[in-house]
Structure 1
């Protein structure tokens, strides 16, 4: 065994001890709140990956899409017809397309009202609130009512909330927060968004 192999083995043994200690310490069993935010690409796709994981185990999942409703969605389409998946699409599309605050606000309220029963149903393992951060930013929903729904959800239910500029109170409340950073984006270099890659 070379010196490098010996150092590697020693480092991995030390790493294993750290990981094993964390695993032993993590004894609480409950659903979690995950926020996926930031300016980078992949927040919604990450949420749909978790949807796939949950459906793969036979769990019930509910997804509400607050912004992207008028676009095709490959992630959504692949699960179409799955009896364990409920999807509600707000359907107004991007706010810069509608340019109608009252219309968007009413559509958001209707989508939220359709979502609330899922956040109270202990048979639903995972709820995804895709692009909900914009609804909070624009004042279509109040942070207090969203946090109240999260706090009163079934104990084993997990929720993923996505979108840029997540509200600070949401970040503080969440168990896991991931920020997707925009280092480079093809669209900003003039490359057209592509079916199967960007949507």
Structure 2
């Protein structure tokens, strides 16, 4: 049978019964999920897409007219597409704070890196405390944890004590600390199967930044 051949009636009926059962099961499951809360969301792992996924959530917030904010801990020195878009077209709904100065091998100054991370976290705390801001993206904060620029225990204690009940906080970057993964409501690990960089292809606008 090809895609253009008519589907036999018994196949159509079997498919219809199968989908009806699936819908009934799905409806029962959805009826039991009625709670709402502000989530702690982690995007980590060695694969590409951690920040991209976080910015996708930011765009959803904007589409729903939900005030949101971004604090970039590492890529602050980069001229990225998401930074251009958000600051040019959506500044009224999304605050954007580029606090980092680049990856640690670019600055080559640990004291500057620590100071930049601390300043970023101070700004993030003010944004998270504001109940009018519904989502705060802490882009590449896991890198700051990895290099010891920020204390994950301090960050988790703050989120537990001061994050408003309906505020979502998204933390991105590879190597998320185990304590953060254990405390988060939603954790996604990006795995790498193939990357063009290994084939000599440089980072390109629209794909990496």
Fold match (TM-score > 0.5): yes
| Structure 1 unmatched ranges of 5 or more | none
Deviation of residue 10 (structure 1)? Answer: 2.6
Report the structure number with the largest CA radius of gyration: 2
Could you say what secondary structure the match of 1:64 adopts?
strand
Deviation of residue 4 (structure 1)? Answer: 3.1
Matching residue of 2:55: 48
Deviation of residue 133 (structure 1)? Answer: 0.6
The TM-score, its normalising length taken from structure 1, stands at: 0.95
Alignment partners' CA distance in 2, 1:17 and 1:132: 41
1:37-116 to 2 correspondence within 5 Å? 37-81=44-88, 82-116=91-125
Matching residue of 1:21: 28
State the aligned residue count. Answer: 199
Q: Which piece of structure 1 moves more, 79-88 or 129-138? A: 79-88
Task: Say if 2:40 and 2:185, in contact at 8 Å, map to a contact too.
Answer: yes
1:168 aligned to 2:182? no
Alignment partners' CA distance in 2, 1:173 and 1:14: 35
Deviation of residue 62 (structure 1)? Answer: 1.1
Q: Mark the CA change 1:108 to 1:8 in structure 2 (over 3 Å): closer, same or farther.
A: same
Matching residue of 2:4: none
Alignment partners' CA distance in 2, 1:47 and 1:2: 45
CA RMSD between the two structures: 1.3
